[in-house]
Amino acid sequence: MSKNKVQPKILPGFMELLPEDQIAFNKMYDTIRSVYERYGFLPLDTPLIELSEVLLAKAGGETEKQIYRFQKGDNDLSLRFDLTVPLARYVAQHAGELAFPFKRYQMSKVFRGERPQKGRFREFYQCDIDVIGQDSLDIVYDAEMPAVIYNVFKELAFGSFTIRMNNRKVLNGYFAELGYSEIIGDILRTIDKLEKIGREAVTEELEKFGVKAEDAERILAFLALRGANDDVIEALRAQNIENELYKQGVEELATVVSYLRLFGVEESAFIIDLTIARGLDYYTGTVFETMLNDYPSMGSVCSGGRYDSLAEYYTDQKLPGIGISIGLTRLFYQLKENGLIPAAGSGCVARCLVIPMGEAQLGAALTAASAIRGAGISADVYCQSKGMKQKMKYAAKIGVPYAAIIGEDEAAQGTVMLKDMATGEQKAVTVAELADAVRA
Amino acid sequence: MSKNKVQPKILPGFMELLPEDQIAFNKMYDTIRSVYERYGFLPLDTPLIELSEVLLAKAGGETEKQIYRFQKGDNDLSLRFDLTVPLARYVAQHAGELAFPFKRYQMSKVFRGERPQKGRFREFYQCDIDVIGQDSLDIVYDAEMPAVIYNVFKELAFGSFTIRMNNRKVLNGYFAELGYSEIIGDILRTIDKLEKIGREAVTEELEKFGVKAEDAERILAFLALRGANDDVIEALRAQNIENELYKQGVEELATVVSYLRLFGVEESAFIIDLTIARGLDYYTGTVFETMLNDYPSMGSVCSGGRYDSLAEYYTDQKLPGIGISIGLTRLFYQLKENGLIPAAGSGCVARCLVIPMGEAQLGAALTAASAIRGAGISADVYCQSKGMKQKMKYAAKIGVPYAAIIGEDEAAQGTVMLKDMATGEQKAVTVAELADAVRA
């Protein structure tokens, strides 16, 4: 390379894929979008750049440090760091023009200037759905969310998965009853580490926060409740907790479980797990996490929950909602690391590469490609003046499923020599039959 | 609104749509993507943020002033201002891993901090395709580009359109022969204004640059050549211009015209227009613009051309290519301004809103919605506990084509009362027939 060239590179923490992986990524993206749309969610596309004053109305601490924030002219600008704050801003701004419940999906990039490390990205896709009510939002929507998750992960087909559900009222009410209302935050954060640091370390940490030894025992037994969903609900009802919030939370859990069955979600795909708390401050009811059963180390691949107030920084209107988010960039990276992104010959959008042997067959080649495209199937024509060997080498390299070769005879007869690139088999096919012959 | 609230708003020059328009926008986006893929173009998704040193290797002047550029940690970063520079960087970086010709599409947002004005955007979608060759790229690809444009605008269905073609070699060779090689840039820029400022002002301006009066006459007569494409080519051949570049350009035009017919592009959809020059420095052969015939004031809605060297700032490799770009955000805005974005009842993704009359019918409603979704059709269920009047008002507001109402009787019989929201007609339909009844 000449000395005066600039080295072509991108920043660490940014994902950029080669065609084969990009196609696999887009397939996942399209699957998620298709399920979201099938459930009637409306598309939304907010600007990537917002006024810092608006975007950071709520932010603080760690979030604020990670923001890409800059001045342009007189404006203090920031790149969005999630899709929830722009949704809150949008709903507050356009409340008069929207119909509620407002169901929207947004699947776009967000930005966080984290220290780059394996599997963490500074620019990544979030695939969000939320339902926002005006004043109130029925609990049926709490069951619709996991029903959507269920269908997304069934169609993504990366093996069995479990949606873990909890309700923040159950946790909050329970700890209020035990007299730990003031340290609920500390307790929940400690509990959140149960899987990471283990029971003993959690007990010790709880005691440091002022939890009595016998209460720590009870709390851990409570949180370890597992089993058939109806059994867990019965066990929760039998806890002798009189706190009203607790009781309400338990009945909400029971309701969501019964609705999930109406939504057709298999019983094996969702469990009540009282350790699920979710870090964010604003969850107030149902919360979810989703695990791929064979890959627990991936952590939650889809999380979310119910919140009382979407947009309180922008409006006095009460806008309760429920939402979930799939971090698609991270998920794709993890699936790839685990060998779950198929690598075989799929670096090609076209189902068939039409190859004219010489320039004289170009017309016939274009006609053949049009016949395939007319059936809605992708086709490409190799148009470089090269030898047949190089043309076939190109077909092999791009991983196209079929090559349709057209020489003098084929052009004269209105046929192609169709080669299955995987098996090497060849057969003469008429142009009229070609689309069906290459269909997936 | 309380005083302590932040006013929810976005920056001027950023497009954000209400659901109805967003659905129309996405439909256009999906149509373009589908045509690009049908021609075998591969998807690419580069980061929005790049190193300034890399992204601005070539930029300068006006472009550089418009860049969103900022510091984060030790890094000097910029938001991309087009999709061509990231493509150049990508191809130079990954040349060893790509198959050439490399055909890629990218349809994403780019950023330019222009002074905001009507119809100009600071954040907008570009929908690009390019074909990149290694060392050489056959001229057939020059005809594939307008063939793709032709199919895109046919499927977008915004009325008749014309692809205007020229070849920079024709212009460059012609002006070299007349002895104006040194001021070709000035001449071309002046010519570019022909439609805006008229023949007289152009002549005057040309004379200021040193063009003799009789040459100005000849040049303007030359540029005014119009007619059937074959006639224009004959007229170009008969110009008595001996310059080799000119002759080559004329034969390239002739070749592209003949291939366009092979690609099945209607003769009425493309014309040779010698006034098309394109502003960018790097076009070296075929150039295109596309006009909607009924809306000439929109200007070109899809432009592009052939360049000798995609990535010379990053690599010594010769990477000739050809590409086109649709500025989708601006196009959508212009179509909307001209009343071409249909406004009628399409603010809804779902084809059918299922409405249980009471909570007891929720199960039946979810079953009905599943039946519709099972056929790949979008359905929504209204789950708020409201009166029927409010439920129907919601259905009317979102503009859903059908409402499927389920009361006690319907639930018992496995039917719904299907209401066509446009005509008001109602009829009983079994759940098994429902998907077909609401299909578009």
* pLDDT mean over A9-35: 96
Determine the residue of chain A that is closest to B385 in CA distance: A138
Q: How many residues does chain A have?
A: 440
Which strands sit side by side in the sheet containing A69-72, from one edge to the other? Answer: A49-51, A75-79, A69-72
Residues A41, A44: Cα–Cα separation, whole Å: 9
Shortest distance, CA B365 to any CA of chain A (angstroms):
9
Q: What percent of chain B has pLDDT over 70?
A: 97
Residue A394 has pLDDT above 90, yes or no: yes
Q: What percent of chain A has pLDDT over 90?
A: 82
pLDDT in tens, B297-342: 999 999 999 999 898 999 999 999 999 999 999 999 999 999 988 7
Q: Is B368 among the domain residues?
A: yes
Find, in chain A, the residue whose alpha carbon is nearest to that of B376. Answer: A38
pLDDT at B343: 58
CB contact under 8 A, B140 and A362: yes
Same domain, A283 and A392: no
Residue B123 has pLDDT above 70, yes or no: yes
**What mean pLDDT comes out for the span B264-288?**
88
- Name the residue among B44, B90, B101 with its Cβ closest to that of A384: B101
**What pLDDT, on a 0 to 100 scale, did the predictor assign at position A371?**
95
Contact (CB, 8 A) for A117 and A56 = no
Asked if A397's CB is within 8 angstroms of B17's CB, the reply is no
What confidence tens digit (pLDDT) does each residue in A151-192 have? 999 999 999 999 999 999 999 999 999 999 888 778 878 877
Q: Is residue B331 part of a domain?
A: no
From the list A53, A136, A397, the residue facing B99 with the nearest CB is: A397
Residue B238 burial by Cβ neighbours in a 10 Å radius (0-12, 13-18, 19+): exposed
Above 70 in pLDDT, residue B178? yes
Q: Are residues A361 and A390 in the same domain?
A: yes
Question: How much is the mean pLDDT over chain A?
Answer: 93
Instruction: List the single best residue of A4, A98, A140 to mutate versus B (max B Cβ within 10 A).
Output: A140
Q: Between A and B, how many CB-CB pairs are < 8 A? A: 260
Q: Which positions ≥6 away from A233 have C-beta within 8 Å?
A: A250, A253, A254, A257, A272
Interface probe with A: pick from B15, B27, B42, most Cβ of A within 10 Å: B42
A129 shares a domain with A257 = yes
Is A220 within 8 Å of chain B by CB?
Answer: no
Residues A210 and A273 in one domain: yes
Report the CATH number that the domain containing residue B380 is assigned in CATH.
Answer: 3.40.50.800
Cα gap A200→A189, rounded to integer Å: 15
Q: What is the pLDDT of residues B364-379, one digit of tens each?
A: 999 999 999 999 999 9
Q: Which residues contact A433 (CB under 8 A, 6 or more apart)?
A: none
> In which domain, by residue range, is A360 found?
352-438
Predicted local distance difference test score (pLDDT) of residue B345 = 52
In a domain, A154, yes or no: yes
Q: Which of A305, A337, A369 is the C-terminal boundary of a domain?
A: A337
Distance CA B164, CA B302 (A): 10
pLDDT bin (cut points 50, 70, 90) of residue A346 is low
**For chain A, what is the domain count?**
2
Q: Which pLDDT band holds residue B280 (cuts at 50, 70, 90)?
A: low
A137 min Cα distance to partner chain B (Å): 7
Question: Using 50, 70 and 90 to split pLDDT, how confident is the model at B191?
Answer: confident
Q: Is residue A9 part of a domain?
A: no
| CATH number of A227's domain | 3.30.930.10
Quick one: A45 and A184 in the same domain? yes
Cα(A334)–Cα(A295) distance, integer angstroms: 9
CB B6 to CB A53 under 8 A? Answer: yes
Position B277 scores a pLDDT of 81
Q: Is A248 found in the same domain as A107?
A: yes
Please give the residue that has the higher pLDDT: either B116 or B104: B104
The band of B224, judged by pLDDT with boundaries at 50, 70 and 90, is: confident
Q: Does position B150 have pLDDT exceeding 90, yes or no?
A: yes
- The reported pLDDT for the residue numbered A241 is 95
- Residue A165's H or E segment, with its range, is strand A161-167
Q: Of A275, A308, A337, which residue constitutes the final position of a domain?
A: A337
Q: Tell me the ipTM for this assembly.
A: 0.95
Closest to A54 (Cβ–Cβ): which among B9, B75, B94? B9
Q: Are residues A191 and A263 in the same domain?
A: yes
**Does residue A343 form part of some domain?**
no
- Cis omega (within 30 of 0) for bond into A101: yes
Distance between CA atoms of B128 and A2, rounded to whole angstroms?
29
Residue A286 included in any domain: yes
pLDDT tens for residues A80-107? 999 999 999 999 999 999 999 999 999 9
Q: What is the share, in percent, of chain B residues with pLDDT greater than 90? A: 82
Say which range, A200-209, B113-122, B350-359, has the weakest mean pLDDT.
B113-122
Contact A378 B353 (CB under 8 A): no
Interface test with B, best of A2, A30, A39 (most B CBs within 10 A): A39
Do A332 and A370 belong together in one domain? Answer: no
Report the C-alpha dihedral over residues A200, A201, A203, A208, rounded to 10 degrees. 150
B403-429 average pLDDT score: 97
- A280 and A380 in a common domain: no
pLDDT band at B279 (very low <50, low <70, confident <90, very high): low
Does A358 lie in the same domain as A277? no
Q: Are B75 and A366 a contacting pair at CB < 8 A?
A: no
In a domain, B397, yes or no: yes
